[in-house]
Amino acid sequence: MIKVVMSYFTDYLSMYDDRYGVVDFRDKDVIDVGAFIGDTTIYFIMRGAGRVVAIEPHPNAFRELIRNVELNGLTNEVIPINAALSSLSGTTCASMDLDLGSIMATYFGPVTNDGICINGVRARLIALGEVINETRVHTDVLKMNCEGCEYGVILNDYEHVRLFRELIFEYRRWITGIPVKELLNVLSKDFKCIFTGRAHEDYGYVYCRRIT
């Protein structure tokens, strides 16, 4: 049984099986983008993952992530990174006024105006290539649930996305205005993709397996 500091996240196994059950995680390394409080990170290890890189930009969620990893005795299996995945360099701004529910639904994009982050904390942006080089994990599975960063990474940093054997990501058209078919057109160069769970035109999950 998973131990999670925030009690209302303890009953999510069936939901995550619906989203991520298509992936066989056994003995695979996973880069978990949008790791939040570590719930998916711990789930992937429960499903047999070898190592998980947990990327989460907001300091409050990241603090809970560390606590949950330690509570479950998984410090040797998890590599936590306090950053936001992006195809750009720079920083993002994490508002300290957000509760955990709001953090989970917030896109942490690049910030270029210093005045924008007066009431927040800056977190670094990290590119996929940097994550791979810093952690030295195998490019087995890339999971992205980062409220819109998936689009920028797939469309602008495809050279690193295509290194992975499997992808699973959330899409939200109303955040970016970009239809999921544009992502699928790019991914079709190297992957076969299917929708998982309850997919809709504007929101859902996509699973891709590399075929090249």
Cα 117 to Cα 94: distance, rounded to the nearest angstrom: 8
Q: What is the pLDDT of residues 132-170, one digit of tens each?
A: 999 999 999 999 998 788 999 999 999 999 999 999 999
Q: What is the pTM of this model?
A: 0.89
Measured distance CA(111)–CA(140) in Å, rounded = 31
Tens digit of each residue's pLDDT (9 = 90 or more) over 99-133: 665 555 555 566 655 556 767 778 889 999 999 99
Residues present in the chain in total = 212
Task: List the CATH code of the domain at 7-210.
Answer: 3.40.50.150
**pLDDT at res. 97:** 67
The confidence score (pLDDT) of residue 187 equals 98
pLDDT tens figures, 66-81? 999 999 999 999 999 9
Q: Is 93 helix (H, G, I), strand (E, B) or coil?
A: strand
Domain coordinates in residue numbering, the chain: 7-210
Judge whether residue 95 has pLDDT over 80.
Answer: no
Q: What's phi and psi for 56, nearest 5 deg? A: -145, 125
